[in-house]
């Protein structure tokens, strides 16, 4: 944590900015270890202070002993000038993507009244989070392992007649019992025509043989997420399934094989998109190839047609091409990968054989 804070201080001195008010829960956790979510960090050249209300005082003392504790009684607006005075600054940056407009109005009024300058910033902590440290990588890897095990469990228990919602519940139970904090996001189980919706909401539809079933799931392990999708078929798939699956898999593998450090997000996206376009399904791959994963399920870098994010070693992201055909269904194959010197290394190892034999 000390190094993270020092890196942030270097960044603040470059802008230059006297202090930064951090409010986004994942950034609070990244900088301090405090996992309570509700609070504010104020970092200046000299000081680092964590402001929380009564509910979190003990938790901060345990999780973030290097931070000066500041007790909030009521709203932050009433304390902003006080906080800045404690730290000895006249200029405070804030995370513009995380404050609501109402909070912004209240805080900027409070800062004016207190003779402070309130400066919008964006992505300062996220920039640090984009490359994972070895400790972070091992937590993501653990989340990915649990997810792989969960998929083996899914293949063992899935059967015709089970509803999408029932399978979601089995997945959640498995993740919890395996020791995960919980799910990284709401599980998607989308069967038959529902599979044509990339972010379908699981419902009471019963799974049937021969149709595509998209299962998109992830675990959260000590705060860190995994993200994984497989498309399966109970019994023998139809001709459309075989064709669409083969193209999606080819796109997934082409990207995994060719992504390199130094590439832009849009070039990585193109590695998979090219395969799908050439097969005639270009219009049916309407989302990006992937996204960064860490404390948040969707974070930088972005791998999509409009992304100029430059990929570098130590970044963790998904590779998830998909083809969606309204009325029929869809196929998505998503792996989590870490970028290393020679290219990407998959953290998701679940089988890509889509066929789950029907129970005899």
Instruction: With contacts defined by CB under 5 A, name the span among 37-45, 100-108, 203-211, 327-335 that binds Zn ion.
Output: 327-335
| 248 forms part of the interface with Zn ion (CB under 5 A) | no
Q: Give the nearest distance from C-beta 318 to Zn ion in angstroms.
A: 4
User: Which residue, 178 or 297, is less far from Zn ion as judged by CB?
Assistant: 297
| 32 forms part of the interface with Zn ion (CB under 5 A) | no
Q: Which of 126, 216, 269, 309 binds Zn ion (CB under 5 A)?
A: 216
Judged by CB under 5 A, how many residues of this single chain contact Zn ion?
5
Q: What CA–CA distance (Å, rounded) separates 219 from 237? A: 29
| 26 forms part of the interface with Zn ion (CB under 5 A) | no
Residue 213 sits at φ, ψ, to 5 deg, of -125, 110
Q: What CA–CA distance (Å, rounded) separates 79 from 35? A: 22
Instruction: With contacts defined by CB under 5 A, name the span among 13-21, 191-199, 301-309, 314-322 that binds Zn ion.
Output: 314-322
DSSP lists the bridge partners of residue 69 as: 50
Q: What CA–CA distance (Å, rounded) separates 227 from 205? A: 24
Q: What CA–CA distance (Å, rounded) separates 25 from 40? A: 9
User: Which residue, 44 or 231, is less far from Zn ion as judged by CB?
Assistant: 231
| 318 forms part of the interface with Zn ion (CB under 5 A) | yes
- Of residues 94, 88, 82, the one with CA closest to residue 41: 94
- Chain centroid to Cα 135, Å, comes to 17
Which ranges of 18-133 would DSSP assign to H, the alpha helix? 25-32, 57-63, 80-87, 101-113, 124-129
User: Which residue, 95 or 334, is less far from Zn ion as judged by CB?
Assistant: 334
| 231 forms part of the interface with Zn ion (CB under 5 A) | no
The strand ranges marked E within the chain are: 19-22, 40-44, 48-52, 68-71, 91-95, 117-121, 182-183, 188-191, 213-217, 219-221, 224-225, 228-234, 290-292, 299-303, 316-319, 322-325, 329-332, 335-340, 343-346, 355-356
For the segment 126-145, give every residue that binds Zn ion (CB under 5 A): none
> What is the longest distance spanned by two Cα atoms in the chain?
76
| 121 forms part of the interface with Zn ion (CB under 5 A) | no
Q: Give the nearest distance from C-beta 291 to Zn ion in angstroms.
A: 6
| 148 forms part of the interface with Zn ion (CB under 5 A) | no
Q: Give the nearest distance from C-beta 347 to Zn ion in angstroms.
A: 13
User: Which residue, 253 or 334, is less far from Zn ion as judged by CB?
Assistant: 334
Half-sphere exposure of 271 (CA within 13 A, CB side): 21
Site track for Zn ion across 265-304, x = CB under 5 A:
----------------------------------------
Q: Give the nearest distance from C-beta 135 to Zn ion in angstroms.
A: 23
- Site residues (CB under 5 A) for Zn ion? 216, 227, 229, 318, 334
């Amino acid at each position: 944590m000390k190094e993270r804070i020092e890196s942030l201080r270097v960044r603040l001195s470059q802008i230059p900015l006297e202090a930064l008010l951090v409010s986004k829960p994942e950034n609070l956790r990244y900088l301090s270890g405090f996992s309570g979510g509700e609070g504010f960090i104020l970092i200046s050249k000299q000081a680092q202070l964590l402001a929380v209300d009564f509910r979190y005082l003990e938790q901060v003392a345990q999780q973030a002993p290097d931070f000066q504790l500041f007790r909030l009684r009521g709203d932050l607006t009433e304390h902003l000038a006080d906080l800045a005075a404690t730290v000895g600054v006249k200029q405070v940056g804030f995370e513009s993507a995380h404050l609501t407009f109402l909070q912004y109005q209240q805080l900027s009024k409070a800062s004016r009244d207190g003779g402070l300058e309130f400066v919008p910033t964006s992505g300062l902590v996220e920039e640090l989070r984009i490359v994972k440290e070895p400790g972070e990588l091992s937590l993501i890897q653990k989340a990915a392992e649990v997810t792989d095990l969960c998929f083996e469990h899914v293949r063992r228990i899935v059967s015709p007649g089970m509803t999408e919602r029932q399978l979601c519940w089995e997945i959640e139970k498995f993740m919890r019992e395996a020791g995960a904090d919980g799910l990284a996001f709401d599980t998607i189980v989308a069967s038959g025509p529902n599979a044509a919706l990339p972010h379908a909401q699981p419902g009471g539809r019963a799974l049937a043989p021969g149709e595509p079933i998209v299962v998109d799931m992830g675990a959260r392990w000590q705060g860190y997420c995994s993200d994984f999708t497989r498309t399966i078929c109970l019994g023998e798939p139809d001709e459309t399934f075989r064709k669409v699956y083969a193209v999606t898999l080819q796109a997934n593998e082409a990207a995994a094989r060719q992504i390199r450090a130094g590439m832009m997000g849009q070039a990585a996206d193109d590695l998979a998109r090219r395969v799908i376009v050439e097969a005639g399904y270009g219009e049916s791959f309407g989302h990006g190839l992937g996204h960064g994963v860490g404390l948040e399920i969707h974070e930088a870098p972005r791998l999509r047609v409009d992304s100029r994010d430059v990929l570098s070693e130590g970044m963790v992201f998904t590779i998830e091409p998909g083809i969606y055909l309204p009325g029929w269904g869809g196929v998505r194959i998503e792996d989590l990968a870490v970028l290393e010197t020679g290219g990407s290394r998959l953290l998701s190892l679940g089988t890509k054989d889509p066929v789950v034999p029907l129970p005899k």
